[in-house]
């Protein structure tokens, strides 16, 4: 193999195959399972609103074994992120800077992340309430862990893991690759948003719409700023509030979910 062959640009077909494989090992796979889950709910006895979508559930009645499963699940869920960053490292430049996941602007990233969380979170609550009233969502249980000492730390770690996985793969990696494949901006935003909505379908159609809208907002933000870190901050804040709030606050407060 010659030096020219080693340094020539990667073919579009190779990039397309790579993208499908990364999604197939991560959130594309989740989208397929979510689609099967919503079909199962719709064809089961009883309306969708009477069924349950549970997150962060227990895996064992033995607390230390359950904790082990929880931590392993978090660690292995992040492997597709490392794979995506590794593949982006073949491109010119530092993949951390390409994705905007470095620590060059901590204050700005935190501030903009908090602002995005408020922008998405408050209308999101209204949308979830409306979806519940219309009966187009399953009853959501954001945290199903037992009352153990490690529940809250694990929920926080799970929130951070969700944020890193989703924002790096569905925004940073996917948008970068689709732009390299010469997709138009509108098609890139649509693909990212529909994917984000699709892997939330197991919660219902309201969750699909809400997360797709969030996907458009986050995709536009990334195209404008080229930084994923504020998106990770925003997503982490949203999930921490949902998970930890559900675990610690009275259950009656969440009857509208």
**Per-residue pLDDT tens over the stretch 150-199:** 999 999 999 999 999 999 999 999 999 999 999 999 999 999 999 999 99
Task: Give the residue carrying structure tokens 């800077």.
Answer: 97
Do residues 55 and 141 touch, judged by C-beta distance below 8 A? yes
**CA dist., res. 119 & res. 122, Å (int):** 6
**CA dist., res. 39 & res. 183, Å (int):** 31
Query: Across all residues in the chain, what is the average pLDDT?
Result: 92
Beta bridge partners of 140: 53
Q: What confidence tier does 257 reach under pLDDT thresholds 50, 70, 90?
A: low
**DSSP-assigned states of every residue in the chain:** --HHHHHSPPPHHHHHHHHHHHHHTTHHHHHHHHHHHHHHHHTSSS-GGGSEEE-SB-S-SSHHHHHHHHHHHHHHHTHHHHHHHHHHTTSSS-HHHHHT-SSS-HHHHHHHHHHHHHHHHHHHHHHHHHHHHHT-BPEEES-B--S-TTHHHHHHHHHHHHHHHHIIIIIIIHHHHHHHTT--HHHHHHHHHHHHHHTTGGGBHHHHHHHHHHHHHHHHHHHHH--SHHHHHHHHHHHHHHHHHHHHS-GGGGTT-
Q: How is residue 183 written in tokens?
A: 């997709």
**Per-residue pLDDT tens over the stretch 111-156:** 999 999 999 998 888 888 898 888 999 999 999 999 999 999 999 9
Q: Residue 4: is its pLDDT beyond 60?
A: no
Would you tell me how many other CB atoms lie within 10 Å of the CB of residue 164?
19
- The separation between CA 5 and the C-alpha centre of its own chain, rounded to angstroms, equals 37
Q: Note if the pTM is more than 0.85.
A: yes
Q: Residue 24: is its pLDDT beyond 80?
A: yes
Rg (CA), the chain: 19
């Amino acid at each position: 193999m010659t030096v020219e062959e080693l340094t020539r640009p990667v073919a579009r077909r190779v990039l397309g195959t790579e993208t499908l494989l990364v999604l197939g090992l991560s959130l594309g796979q989740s989208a397929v399972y979510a689609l099967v889950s919503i079909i199962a709910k719709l064809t089961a006895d009883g309306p969708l609103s009477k069924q349950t979508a549970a997150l962060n559930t227990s895996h064992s009645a033995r607390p230390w074994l359950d904790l082990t499963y929880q931590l392993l699940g978090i660690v292995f869920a992040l492997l597709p992120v490392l794979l995506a960053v590794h593949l982006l490292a073949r491109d010119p430049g530092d993949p951390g800077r390409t994705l905007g996941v470095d620590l060059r602007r901590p204050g700005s990233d935190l501030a903009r992340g908090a602002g995005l969380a408020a922008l998405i979170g408050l209308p999101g609550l209204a949308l979830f309430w409306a979806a519940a009233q219309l009966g187009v969502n399953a009853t959501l249980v954001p945290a199903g862990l037992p009352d153990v000492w490690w529940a809250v730390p694990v929920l926080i770690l799970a929130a951070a893991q969700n944020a890193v996985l989703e924002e790096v793969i569905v925004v940073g990696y996917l948008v970068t690759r689709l732009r390299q494949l010469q997709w138009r901006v509108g098609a890139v935003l649509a693909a990212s948003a529909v994917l984000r909505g699709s892997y939330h379908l197991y919660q219902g159609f309201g969750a699909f719409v809400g997360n797709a809208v969030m996907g458009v907002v986050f995709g536009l933000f990334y195209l404008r700023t080229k930084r994923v870190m504020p998106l990770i901050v925003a997503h982490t804040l949203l999930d921490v509030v949902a998970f930890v709030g559900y675990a610690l606050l009275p259950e009656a407060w969440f009857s509208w979910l």
